């Protein structure tokens, strides 16, 4: 929950009305020094355009890729990024935290 | 998230009404709970707790893992009186993420030099307050020490059901204020809502310390459950 950047939810609605495929990615759990709190979210459309953030920039690229799959399949997905996870380390959650991100299709 | 849920969420947010989205993260099942419906919800204890803290979180109910995403409006702080205390209070409140507005019809007080970066309205409360959309998610502080300014502002705050109302002045000053407000039609239950003397009792002396005492009292009002709130006051 961060009110100041929540017009991203308005963008999600607008994109959907314009006929885009849209996904919403939300931080649902954090451990350690995760950069964004639970409730922070990112919206992604089928162009790969995104707004908001789930990690302050560390893992957004990976989340966007997964979100495009979710838009195509319609099936929600839970993603986990952390230091113990080699892929996550590669995408750079270097702050040492772990986050779980729920990705769902809008519509 | 279904489009209808998203639309309803955006409508509630635009109206500054808190909402919680409950998601079963195993299968994506979702529902929207409005703040006014929390008391009648099967998850009322969990929902009320998250809502009060303004914080999203997970709960496990009957073997289901549920994510409660809280969308609470940004709290506002309206300060009546562009006085020395307000010069300390406004930046402090902004650092706590409040949307701050200072109202004072006295232009010598309400000057941008004294309040850089803070929205200032140099008008009487009857003109200044209606456009500010003062609501329940507003903390309201009257610190001019001038009944002509503070009293009508306080009546407006009662009317809008602000979650916190505070007014500067000793117990004696406040007793006189209560009499005046009663004469203008305020109910005893409204007058009882005024925190006066203002701020938690931390022995504050300087304007900055008084600002800390006021923000601490506002925070307690916003975050503590009702019973502990009475103990803190």
CA distance B150 to chain A (A): 30
Looking at the domain B3-71, which fold is it?
Arc Repressor Mutant, subunit A (1.10.10)
**CATH superfamily ID and name for B76-232:** NAD(P)-binding Rossmann-like Domain (3.40.50.720)
Which of helix, strand or coil describes residue B126? Answer: helix
Average pLDDT rounded to a whole number, residues B4-28:
94
Given A1, A6, A102, which is nearest B54 (Cβ)? A1
In angstroms, the separation between the Cα of residue B78 and the nearest Cα of chain A is: 19
Q: For B7, which residue in chain A has the nearest alpha carbon?
A: A13
Average pLDDT over residues B50-76: 92
Structure pTM?
0.76
The whole-number average pLDDT for the span B155-174 is 96
Contacts of A76 in chain B (CB under 8 A): 25, 27-28
Weakest mean pLDDT among B46-60, B137-151, B178-192: B46-60
What span, in angstroms and rounded, lies between the C-alpha atoms of B43 and B31?
12
Q: Are B34 and B12 in contact (CB under 8 A)?
A: yes
Interface of A with B in 26-55 (CB under 8 A): 26, 28-29, 37-39
Residue among B34, B31, B57 at smallest CA distance from B46: B57
What percent of chain A is modeled with pLDDT above 90? 56
B108 three-class SS: coil
Give the 3-state secondary structure of B8-64. Answer: HHHHHHHCCCCEEEEEECCCCCEEEEEHHHHHHCCCHHHHHHHHHHCCCEEEEECCE
Query: What average pLDDT does this structure show over B85-113?
Result: 96
Q: Rounded to an integer, what distance in angstroms lies between the CA atom of residue B75 and that of residue A39?
A: 18
Q: What is the span of the domain harbouring residue A89?
A: 3-106
Rounded Cα distance between B109 and A103, Å, is: 51
Instruction: List all residues of chain B from 82 to 111 with a beta carbon under 8 Å from chain A.
Output: 97
pLDDT at residue A59 tops 80: yes
Q: Is B2 in the A-facing interface, judged by CB distances under 8 Å?
A: yes
Question: A3-32: per-residue pLDDT in tens?
Answer: 445 589 999 999 999 999 999 999 999 887
Per-residue pLDDT, A2: 40
> Residue A68, exposed/middle/buried by CB under 10 A (0-12, 13-18, 19+)?
middle
Closest by alpha carbon to A15, among A67, A55, A58? A67
Look at A4 and B72 and tell me if their CB atoms are within 8 Å: no
B1 and A29: CB-CB below 8 Å? no
Percent of all residues in chain A with a pLDDT value above 70, rounded to a whole number: 79
Count of structural domains within chain A = 1
How sure is the predictor about B214, in pLDDT bands with cuts at 50, 70 and 90?
very high
Q: Does A9 touch chain B (CB under 8 A)?
A: yes
Residue A43: which H helix or E strand, with range? strand A41-45
- Stated length of chain B: 233
For B176, list phi and psi in degrees, rounded to 5: -65, -40
Each domain of chain B, given as residue ranges in start order, spans 3-71, 76-232
Inspect the interface and report whether the beta carbons of A39 and B55 lie closer than 8 Å. Answer: yes
Q: Looking at beta carbons, which residues of chain B come within 8 Å of A13?
A: 3, 6-7, 10
Q: Give me the pLDDT at residue A3, please.
A: 44
Of residues B163, B107, B103, the one with CA closest to residue B131? B103
Mean residue pLDDT of chain B comes to 94
**Residues in B touching A10 (Cβ below 8 Å):** 10
């Amino acid at each position: 929950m961060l009110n100041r950047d929540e017009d991203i939810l308005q963008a999600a609605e607008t994109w959907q009305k314009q006929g885009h495929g849209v996904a919403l990615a939300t931080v649902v759990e954090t451990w350690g020094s995760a950069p964004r709190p639970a409730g922070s979210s990112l919206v992604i459309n089928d162009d790969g355009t995104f707004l908001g953030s789930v990690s302050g920039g560390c893992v957004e690229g990976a989340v966007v890729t997964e979100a495009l799959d979710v838009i195509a399949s319609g099936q929600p997905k839970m993603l986990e990024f952390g230091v113990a996870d080699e892929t996550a380390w590669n995408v750079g959650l270097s702050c040492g935290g772990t986050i779980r991100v729920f990705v769902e299709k809008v519509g | 998230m279904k489009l209808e849920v998203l639309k309803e969420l955006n409508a509630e947010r635009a109206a500054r009404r808190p909402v919680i989205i409950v998601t079963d993260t195993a299968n994506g099942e979702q529902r929207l709970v409005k703040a006014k419906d929390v008391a009648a919800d099967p998850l009322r204890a969990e929902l009320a707790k998250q809502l009060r803290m303004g914080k999203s979180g997970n709960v496990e109910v009957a073997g289901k893992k549920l994510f409660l995403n809280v969308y609470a409006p940004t709290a506002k702080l309206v300060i009546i009186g562009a006085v020395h205390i307000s010069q300390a209070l406004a930046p402090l409140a902004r650092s706590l993420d409040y949307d701050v507005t200072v109202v004072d019809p006295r232009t010598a007080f309400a000057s941008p030099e004294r309040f850089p970066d803070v929205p200032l309205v140099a008008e009487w409360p009857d003109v200044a307050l209606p456009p500010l959309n003062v609501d329940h998610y507003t903390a309201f502080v009257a610190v001019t020490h001038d009944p002509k300014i503070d009293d009508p502002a306080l009546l407006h705050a009662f009317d809008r059901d602000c979650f916190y109302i505070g007014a500067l002045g000793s117990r004696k000053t406040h007793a006189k204020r209560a009499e005046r407000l009663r004469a203008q039609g305020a109910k005893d239950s409204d007058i009882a809502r005024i925190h006066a003397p203002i701020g938690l009792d931390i022995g504050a002396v300087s304007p900055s310390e008084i600002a800390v005492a006021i923000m601490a009292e506002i925070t307690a009002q916003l975050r503590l459950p009702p019973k502990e709130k009475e103990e803190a006051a």
